Copies of this chain bind each other. A is one copy, B any other.
Amino acid sequence: METGQLEAFAKQYKQLLESNLRSLVGKLDAPAIIKESMIYSLEAGGKRIRPLLVFATIDAFGMDPKKGLSAAAAIEMIHTYSLIHDDLPSMDNDDLRRGKPTNHKVFGDAVATLAGDALLTYSFEVLGNIPNDSITAETRLKLIVEMAKAAGTEGMVGGQVADMEGEGKSLTLQELEYIHIHKTGKLLGFSVLAGALIAGANQSQIESLSAFAHHLGLAFQIQDDILDVVGNEQEIGKPVGSDTTNSKSTYPKLLSLDGAKASLREQTHRAKENLAKTGLNTTLLMEITDLVASRNH
């Protein structure tokens, strides 16, 4: 890929992903309402940053990104289930997500809970069903175990619990990083790892790519916090400053806005530094890093 081609790449693979997600849910032999609820949230849009990381990582190895389609779909299902459950009245109690009514506002709390459960469950079936001629059974098992780790108590769920426990408290920078590394970082990291495993990366490439993903995840979260201070309500689809209202610990609060911006530059730099170590054609991954650091929603 040449520089500046991320936009076309993202458009192409977003379409492929979204059509795959529709088809995967569409073919289920299940009550209509649960399929509608799953598809409603899968189609709610978003940047599809995790699938894009899968595709772009495979592309960096000079391989066909389509090989990552099932993994990308599985990861987006996990991400979507987490949003549905996070939005529930018993959790964050959000009525809007990306400017649309949240799943439970449309389908009710019970169906929303089950749609989340169903997406989480299905994600493992989708990974398990990757055809044998594409990647080995051993690699598929590794993907399944690593996705479970990234999504479970040692990853996303653990981060969510720590986030809830930290509510209303003044957190240290270390505590804040624990939350973000787990709540969002682990699944972002798995997206890159999945691409690397599918592309047949060696151990040293996996290490550099994992370090890249770690810093990218932190950059992602710092920018999220910065946007919450300076963002535009219409663009991010939720009330600006809502984290501040909930007296939530954020990077700008702990580091000042300028300090948070400096930290964002630092994380972005270290992400790219690790990319450079891989010896791969990481143009797209570099562009994704810039996109994450400079996005306005």
- Tell me which of A142-150, A198-206, A210-218, A261-269 binds B: A142-150
State in angstroms the CA–CA spacing of A52 and B271 once bound together.
49
Contact at A129–B110, with CB atoms within 8 Å? no
Chain A 118-142 per-residue mask, 1 if CB under 8 angstroms from chain B, else 0: 1011101100110000001110110
State in angstroms the CA–CA spacing of A165 and B107 once bound together.
12
- Tell me which of A23-31, A42-50, A65-73, A228-236 binds B: A23-31
- Tell me which of A12-20, A153-161, A274-282 binds B: A153-161
State in angstroms the CA–CA spacing of A108 and B167 once bound together.
15
Which of chain B's residues have a CB closer than 8 A to the CB of A28? 152-154
Contact at B113–A88, with CB atoms within 8 Å? yes
* Assembly stoichiometry (copies): 2
State in angstroms the CA–CA spacing of A121 and B155 once bound together.
11
Which of chain B's residues have a CB closer than 8 A to the CB of A160? 114
Given contact pairs A138-B137, A141-B140, A161-B30, A113 touches B125 in the complex (Cβ within 8 A): no
Given contact pairs A129-B145, A152-B118, A158-B34, A110 touches B124 in the complex (Cβ within 8 A): no
Interface-central residue, A38, A120, A129, A164, by most chain B CB under 10 Å: A120
Question: Is A33's CB within 8 Å of the partner chain B?
Answer: yes
Contact at A91–B113, with CB atoms within 8 Å? yes
State in angstroms the CA–CA spacing of A116 and B113 once bound together.
10
Question: Is A79's CB within 8 Å of the partner chain B?
Answer: no
Question: Is A58's CB within 8 Å of the partner chain B?
Answer: no
Q: Give the residue name and chain of the B residue nearest to A116 (CB).
A: B117
Question: Is A272's CB within 8 Å of the partner chain B?
Answer: no
Q: 17 A-B pairs, CB-CB below 8 angstroms?
A: A28-B152, A28-B154, A34-B157, A90-B90, A90-B109, A111-B161, A114-B157, A116-B117, A118-B152, A121-B148, A124-B124, A125-B145, A125-B148, A125-B152, A128-B141, A128-B144, A137-B138
